[in-house]
Structure 1
Amino acid sequence: MATGNYFSWCKETEAAFLEVTDTTEIMRLLAQHTLDLGLNFYALYIRHPVPFTRPKIFVFSNYPERWVRKWQEENFSEIDPIIRYCQVPGTLLLWNDPVVKEGRKVFDAAKEFGIRSGFSCSRIARNRVVGILSMASGKSFKKSALCAEKQLKLQFLSDRILDALQRVKDRSLSVMTMPLSQREREILKWTAEGKTAAEISLILSISTHTVNFHQKNMQRKFNAPNKTQVASYAAAIGLL
C-alpha cells in the first residue's frame, strides 16, 4: 500500500463527507466508494443501544429490493453471523471466514440474488450507536482480496458515514438525549455504583428527601419505572 496515496484518499474522502447536506448525498458517496473498491453492493446496519430488548434498527443499502424483503420477512437478522459477530465495535470480518459458517442459510439465500462475497466492519458513533458497514460483490473472492488498504478504507468510511449521518441529523443517529442537572448527574453516578439514597445523601451532604426527589425526576425524564433502569439507560447512551 502506498502510504501517501492512502492519506491523500483519506483527506479527500473526509472533505467530501463534510460537504454533504443530507442522507441521500451520503448514500450516493457510499455507493461510489463501494464501486471504487471493486464491489457492487453496500449495506449499513445501525443499531441503537436502547431499549435493550428491542433496540431501534435502521438499514440503508443498495441490495436488490427482493433480497432486502426476504431478509426482513424471514427474520434473518436473528441468525445473520455478520450481525452477531460485528456487534463488537472494531470487528472486521470476511464473509468466507470460518467463523461465519454457521450462517450458511443466510449466505446461500443471498447468492440467489447475486450476492456472493463481501466483508463487514463495525464502528461505534459518538452517541454509542453501533454501525455495521458491509460491502459485497457478485463475484467470489479469496481472503487475500481483503488487503490492508481495503481494511483501512472500510473502517475509515464507516467512521465518516456515521459522523455525517449524525451531523445532518438523520433519525438513524438520533438517540435518546436527556438534559440532566449537575446534581442529577452526581446522584445518577452514585446510583449506578449501587449506593442507596441514604448513602448518597451522606456522600453529597444533602437530605435523603432531596436524593429521592432527583431520582424520581430522572425516572420521569427517562420514562423509567425505577432508578435501576435510569442508571442502565444512562450508561448505555454515554451519560455516565
Structure 2
Amino acid sequence: MAYWSVRLPEELREVTSVDEAFAAIVNAAREVGFDSCAYGYQHPLPFSRSEIFLLNNYAKDWRERYDDAQYLGVDPTVIRARASIEPIVWSNKLFRGAAQLWDEARSFGLRHGWAQSCFSPDGGVGLLSLARGDEPLSELELRVKDIELRWLVNVAHGALSPWAVSISKRRSRKLTRREIEVLRWAGDGKTADETGRIISRSRFTVDFHFKNAMRKLGVRTRTAALARAAAMGLLR
C-alpha cells in the first residue's frame, strides 16, 4: 500500500469538521489518480423518501445543474450502489439510460470514473465516486489499484458517514430518555400496562410518552414508530 494510505487514517483522527475529513479524502483520491471526488450517504429514514447527504469537489456550475435537473434520481451509479457493493466503472453502456446526464457530466470534465458503495449496519448506504477528465481507466490500472480503491472506499465511509448521521440527528427532534424507554419495551412486545409496571408509571403516562415519540418521529401508528425507531438504532 502507498504511503498516503498510512497517513490518511492518522489525518482523519485529527479532523474537527466534516469539511476537513472530506478534504483528506480528496487528497487521497488525487494520490491514487483522480482529481474529482464525491461522497454521498443515503439515510435509512424516512422509508419513502430517504434523506441524502452529499459532498463533492465538483465545479459549482455542475453541482447546481445536477441538483436542478434532479439527476440524482436517474444516476445509474447511485441506482446500482443501492443494490450492490460491486465496483462501478463509468462507461457509455452504464449511462445508456441517462444519456443527457452522461453528456453534461463529460462537458464538465467528468469523463472517466469509478465508484463503490458501502452499507452501514443501520441500513444507510454510502457511495464514493472518483473521476477524472484526461486518461481513460484501463483494465490494468483497475487491477493494480483494486485494493487501494476498495480500501479508500471503506476509510471514506468510516470517516464521513458518522458526520452524515450526526448532522441528520441534529436536524431531527430529539426523543427524551423516557420516550426511548417506552419504545424499547414496546419493541420487546410489552403492552402499555406491562411497561407501566416495569418502569413504575401508570399506563396513561406510558401512552403519553409513546404518543410524544410518535409525533417526534413523524408517524401515526405504534408499528410505524417501532419500525422507525429500530431503523434509527434507538431500540438497541
Instruction: Report the CA distance between 1:188 and its aligned residue.
Output: 2.3
Cα separation, 2, equivalents of 1:125 and 1:32: 24
Q: For the residues of structure 1 that align with 2:197 and 2:15, how far apart are their CA atoms?
A: 50
Q: CA deviation at 1:120?
A: 0.7
Match of 2:38 in 1: 43
- What is the CA-CA distance between 1:166 and the residue it aligns to? 5.7
Question: Aligned residue for 1:187?
Answer: 186
Task: Describe how 1:36-115 pairs up with structure 2 within 5 A.
Answer: 36-88=31-83, 90-96=85-91, 98-115=93-110
Q: Could you report, residue by residue, the CA deviation over 1:162-196 in whole angstroms, capped at 9, with x for unpaired residues?
A: 433466x56775335644544530212438xxxxx
**Residue number among 215, 226, 229 corresponding to 2:224 in the alignment:** 229
Q: Following TM superposition, by how much is the alpha carbon of 1:203 offset from its aligned partner in structure 2, in angstroms?
A: 11
Do the aligned residues in 2 keep the contact of 1:94 with 1:146 (CA within 8 Å)? no
Say if 2:4 and 2:28, in contact at 8 Å, map to a contact too: no
3-state secondary structure, aligned to 1:66 = helix
Tell me the amino acid that sits aligned with residue 141 of structure 1.
L
Give the Cα–Cα distance (whole angstroms) in 2 for the partners of residues 92 and 53 of structure 1. Answer: 26
What is the CA–CA distance in structure 2 between the aligned matches of 1:203 and 1:81, rounded to whole Å?
47
The one-letter amino acid paired with 1:146 is L
SS of residue paired to 1:174: helix
TM-score relative to the length of structure 1: 0.76
Write the distance in 1 (CA, Å) between the matches of 2:145 and 2:167: 25
Q: 1:146: which partner in 2?
A: 142
User: Contact conserved, 1:41 with 1:135, CA < 8 A, in 2?
Assistant: yes
Matched, 1:220 2:215: yes
From the superposition, tell whether residues 208 and 152 of structure 1 become closer, same or farther in structure 2 (CA, over 3 Å). Answer: farther
State the SS of the aligned residue for 2:233: coil
Amino acid at match of 2:186: I
One-letter code aligned to 2:168: S
Match of 1:174 in 2: 168
- Determine if contact 1:166/1:174 at 8 Å carries over to the other structure: no
Q: What corresponds to 1:194 in structure 2? A: none
For structure 1, which segment, 209-218 or 63-72, has the greater mean C-alpha deviation from structure 2 after superposition?
209-218
Q: CA deviation at 1:18?
A: 0.7
The Cα shift of 1:59 comes to 1.7
In the alignment, structure 1 segments of 5+ residues that lack a partner are 192-196
Match of 1:21 in 2: 16
For residues 59 and 194 of structure 2, the distance between their equivalents in structure 1, rounded to whole angstroms, comes to: 61
Distance between the aligned counterparts of 1:86 and 1:31, measured in 2? Answer: 20
* 2:131 pairs with 1:136: yes
Task: Give aligned pairs, total.
Answer: 226
TM-score by length of 2: 0.77
Cα pair 2:43 2:50 within 8 Å, conserved: yes
Return the offset for 1:135. 0.1
Identity of aligned residues (%): 26
Question: Which residues of structure 2 form unaligned runs of 5+?
Answer: none
Query: How far off is 1:231 after superposition?
Result: 2.0
